[in-house]
């Protein structure tokens, strides 16, 4: 399987809030997840495989410093089950 190149959207920087508040978030469409596990390998602090073998986010919001890993996980997901977005604006960052 070949990973897709990062989308242009994923190259946009995510600013850290001045107070270090959460600024990014990720959702997993579990109906699409095939349990490939790339997200867990890429961002183990943000995803885990549950008893069904499907991914789920470990936190509802994350600091901007987590954005790179979240975006990479979304870009690597073979079925585009992961969506990463700005927690406040809802602006989609990946895929």
38 binds ligand SF4 (CB under 6 A): yes
Among 14, 23, 25, 39, binds ligand SF4 (CB under 6 A): 39
Q: Which is nearer to ligand SF4, 38 or 87 (CB)?
A: 38
Where are the alpha helices (H) located in 23-81, listed in sequence order?
38-42, 67-76
> Between vectors from CA 32 to CA 27 and to CA 38, what angle results, nearest 5°?
70
Our CB check for ligand SF4 shows the closer of 9 and 36 to be 36
Q: Does residue 37 touch ligand SF4 according to CB under 6 A?
A: yes
CA distances from 46 to 1, 2, 6, 69 (A): 23, 23, 19, 9
Q: How far is the CB of 88 from ligand SF4 (least distance, A)?
A: 24
């Amino acid at each position: 399987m070949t990973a897709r190149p990062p989308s242009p959207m994923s190259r946009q920087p995510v600013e850290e809030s001045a107070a270090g508040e959460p600024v990014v978030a990720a959702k997993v469409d579990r109906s699409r997840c095939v349990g490939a596990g790339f997200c867990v390998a890429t961002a183990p602090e943000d995803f885990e495989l549950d008893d069904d073998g499907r991914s789920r986010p470990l936190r509802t919001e994350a600091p901007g410093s987590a954005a790179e890993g979240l975006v990479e996980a979304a870009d690597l997901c073979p079925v585009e089950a992961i969506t990463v977005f700005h927690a406040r604006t809802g602006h989609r960052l990946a895929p």
